[in-house]
A and B are shown apart, each in its own frame.
Chain A
Amino acid sequence: MTVVARRARGATSGAGRLAVALLSPTFVVLALVVGYPLVAALRESVFREGTDLDESGFVVEGARFVGVDNYASVFAGESAVRFWNAFSNTTVFTVITVSLEVVIGVGMALVMHHALCWRGVVRASILVPWAVPTAVSALLWRWIFQADGVANSIIGQQVLWTTEGWQAKFAIILADVWKTAPFVGLLVLAGLQIIPNDVYEAARVDGASPWRQFWRITLPLVKPALLVAVLFRVLDALRMFDLPYVLIGPRKASAETLSMLAFEEAASLRFGPAAAYATLLFVYVAVTALVFVRLLGADVIGAARERAAKR
């Protein structure tokens, strides 16, 4: 479309139509693969499968509408205990792993940024764990944490890592931090690239110590990159699934996360309750993201809004 044609038709409607055309492949894919199953899951969460008796005593088969029953049963009796356990596991894993990943990730980024010799090798070796497939790294850590594995022979104790208890949580956290701290490191490293050197020169001339330079210059300037990394990490960690599933195994109270709970329910063909768990997890993640964006990362969305306003 040429300028003339655009002017003639009115820039906004033409641009709007083009924008829609450019966005349509994204829409189609997301509506099909994400939208439809999400709606289906929401619908499923108010139905229950199986044979049952209705109010008048007739036998009914197939899915029945049960309203909020599936949700109610999540919070009743034994399943309430299981749900809250999974909820607290998920929360604990997320808080601890993301905090550790931020600290270690920033450290790694600084090391990668300042490494003098063998820069490429240092970078690559630090980033490799993130590139290792999760299924592989979970198996790898399971091998390390075997009863007669190398972890025990290093500490000289006999810990049964993959059984119920604190050690299972520790194993998951260690494996997850090992795998994803490099991801945070990578995003922070990218953020470091854009800090101009003369800022540090000036600080050095003013006699600022390296420690002070870090807190006063590096951290504030790297903050936007760090926030995006933390946001995406939190969203991912709340949905943690395959690492605890392969490393520790399903149906273990110390390791069960909300994703695993929903998956287990679905695997035992209880689709209604499974969909209820999935919906609750989705709400939990969404609320967390909202709070996060409100409290810390107003600029994550704000940047978009600002730019929109500018044009």
Chain B
Amino acid sequence: MNRRVSRGIAEGVTVVIAAVVAFPLYWMVLTALKPDAEVISTDPRPWTLAPTLDSFVRALTVQSFGRYLLNSIVVAVAVVLLSLLISFLAATALTRFRFRSRTTLLIMLLVVQMVPVEALTIPLFFLMQSVRDVAPVFGLNHLGSLVLVHLAFSLPFAIWMLRGFVAAVPVELEEAATLDGASRSRFLWSVLFPLVAPGLVATSVLSFIHAWNDFLFAKTFIISAAENQTLPLALQVFVKPDQNDWGAIMAGSTLMTIPVLVFFILVQRRLVAGLAGAVKS
């Protein structure tokens, strides 16, 4: 009996927490669906009797939302793939090989996590300006510049996390593979890579969200190439002093959140298992 009561309380708490957490999101979608008159009404109601897609239409048509969406996806996917590859190599080096400066390197990665990014936008801007002269694709006004920056800032956490997974693979396995005649690179890609897959999933979620969320760099680097803008900036078009188009902002926000949600729900089970592996070691 006692147990059933406490279980009931736990379930109740669960529902309340989920509701509190979900409310702002409900409000976002609701605002996006409300007709304009209800959105600006001074007496907000928690429901609407006349849902409409007008706001979505505005968000999608006022500017090339599809183009921005595609840009955001290109940047995020490129960052995910590159950071998986690079952090996997680095994590392997940092766990599988013994060398003196290893701890120093790990701390250096932590230091990267401490760099006040927003304060570095100006030097980064000049950097991208010079990069443009050498490799235009990675310079100002190109999506490559965003990929490069997000890659750099998502590497430290990714490496720290993957380190645990690589360490969890027994050394004997490597010895066995080597005895069977597998080369180092063969071992890396055919044995180690699949074994750390859960860790790679967790890492990719974090890199994806990191790149998808960015507002500052897109604002700083993509200055005169409107066709290379990403989604967070597209939203700002509706933000005007004193007369924000809240319906369109919320519709755009909803549209921008959906891809992350889909990605997230698809991998959340593996994500938890993945992070568990990182912690375990």
Binding site for B on A (CB under 8 A): 1-3, 12, 15-16, 18-20, 22-23, 25-26, 29-30, 32-34, 36-38, 40-41, 44, 107-108, 111, 114-117, 120, 122-137, 139-141, 143-144, 148-150, 153, 178, 182, 186-187, 189-191, 193-194, 210, 224-225, 228, 232, 235, 239, 241-242, 246, 258-260, 262-263, 266, 271, 274-275, 277-278, 281-282, 285-286, 289, 301, 303-305, 307-308, 311
The closest CB in chain B to the CB of A311 belongs to B98
Contact: B257 with A23, CB < 8 Å?
no
Q: Which single member of A111, A133, A194, A263 contacts B14 (CB below 8 Å)?
A: A111
Q: Find out whether the CB atom of A241 lies under 8 angstroms from the CB atom of B118.
A: yes
Q: Cβ of B50 < 8 Å from any Cβ of A?
A: no
Q: Residues of A contacting B117 with CB < 8 Å? A: 239, 241
In the complex the two chains form, is B89's CB within 8 Å of A150's CB?
A: no
B157 sits at the interface (CB 8 A): yes
Interface string of B83-112 (1 = CB under 8 A from A): 001110110111111110011011100111
Question: Which residues of the partner chain B approach A114 to less than 8 Å between Cβ atoms?
Answer: 10
The residues of B that contact A115 with a CB separation of less than 8 Å are 14
Q: Do B127 and A36 touch (CB < 8 A)?
A: yes
Q: List 25 A-B contacts (CB under 8 A).
A: A1-B184, A2-B183, A15-B98, A23-B89, A23-B90, A111-B10, A120-B268, A120-B269, A124-B268, A133-B213, A139-B239, A143-B246, A190-B278, A193-B273, A210-B6, A225-B279, A239-B116, A241-B118, A242-B216, A259-B116, A278-B119, A282-B114, A285-B114, A289-B114, A304-B163
Indicate whether B22 reaches chain A with its CB closer than 8 angstroms: yes
B103 touches A124 (CB 8 A): no
Q: Cβ of A263: which chain B residues have Cβ within 8 Å of it?
A: 118-119, 121
Chief secondary structure at chain B's binding surface: helix
Contact A139 B253 (CB under 8 A): yes
In the complex, A16 Cα to B246 Cα: how many Å? 57
Q: Which A residues touch B261, using CB under 8 A?
A: 124, 128, 131
For A178, A235, A308, which residue has the most chain B Cβ atoms within 10 angstroms? A308
B240 at the interface (CB under 8 A from A): no
Chain A residues whose C-beta falls within 8 Å of the C-beta of B14 in the assembled complex = 111, 115, 122
Stretch of B52-60, B63-71, B146-154 on the interface side: B146-154
Q: Are B111 and A144 in contact (CB under 8 A)?
A: no
Is the Cβ of A133 less than 8 Å from the Cβ of B126?
no
* CA of A25 to CA of B275, assembled, Å: 24
What is the CA–CA distance of A48 and B248 in the complex, to the nearest angstrom?
Answer: 43
Main secondary structure of the interface of A (DSSP, over half): helix
Cα of A285 to Cα of B86 in the assembled complex, Å:
26
> Which of A16, A111, A124, A271 contacts B122, CB < 8 Å?
A271
B103 contacts A305, C-beta separation under 8 Å: yes
User: Please, which residues of chain A bring their CB within 8 A of the CB of B144?
Assistant: none
Question: When each residue 156-191 of chain B gets 1 if its CB lies under 8 Å from chain A and 0 otherwise, what string results?
Answer: 010110010001000000000011010110000000
Whether the pair B235, A3 counts as a contact (CB closer than 8 A) is no
Residue B37, interface by CB 8 Å: no
- Contacts of B257 on A, CB cut-off 8 Å? 131-133, 136
**Closest-CB distance, B195 to chain A (whole angstroms):** 17
Asked if residues B25 and A132 are in contact (CB atoms below 8 Å), the reply is yes
Residues of B within 8 A of A (CB): 6-7, 10-11, 13-14, 17-18, 21-22, 24-25, 27-28, 31, 42-44, 46, 85-87, 89-90, 92-99, 102-103, 105-107, 110-124, 126-127, 148-149, 151-153, 155, 157, 159-160, 163, 167, 178-179, 181, 183-184, 209, 212-213, 215-216, 231-232, 235, 239, 246, 249-250, 253, 256-257, 260-261, 264-265, 268-269, 271-276, 278-281
For the complex, give the distance between the alpha carbons of A254 and B123 in Å. 28
**A29 B152 Cβ-Cβ under 8 A:** yes
| Nearest B residue (CB) for A33 | B152
B115 touches A34 (CB 8 A): yes
Do B256 and A128 have beta carbons less than 8 Å apart?
A: no
Contact A182-B21, Cβ < 8 Å, known A33-B124, A124-B264, A289-B110: yes
Most chain B CB neighbours (cut-off 10 Å) among A116, A139, A193: A139
- Are B98 and A190 touching (Cβ within 8 A)? no
Pair B93/A19 contact, Cβ less than 8 Å: yes
Residues of B within 8 A of A3 (CB): 178-179
Q: How far is the CB of B246 from chain A (nearest CB, A)?
A: 6
- Contact check, A41 vs B119: say whether CB atoms are below 8 A apart: yes
Contacts of B116 in A (CB 8 A): 239, 258-259, 262, 278, 281-282, 285
Q: Which residue of A lies closest to B86 (CB)?
A: A25
Chain A residues lying within 8 Å of B215, measured Cβ to Cβ, are 133-135, 242, 246
Whether the pair A131, B264 counts as a contact (CB closer than 8 A) is yes
Top 4 closest pairs, chain A to chain B, by CB: A278-B119, A190-B275, A33-B152, A37-B123
Which of these, A26, A178, A182, contacts B24 with CB under 8 Å? Answer: A178
Q: A135-B232, A259-B118, A282-B116 are in contact. Are A116 and B260 (CB under 8 A)?
A: no
Select from chain A the residue with minimum beta-carbon distance to B83: A29
Bound state CA distance, A34 and B123, in angstroms? 10
Measured between beta carbons, the chain B residues less than 8 angstroms from A304 are 102-103, 106, 163
Say whether B148 contacts A33, CB under 8 Å. Answer: yes
Which of B24, B127, B239 is in CB contact (< 8 Å) with A129? Answer: B24
- Residues on B with beta carbons closer than 8 Å to the beta carbon of A120: 265, 268-269
Contact check, B118 vs A148: say whether CB atoms are below 8 A apart. Answer: no
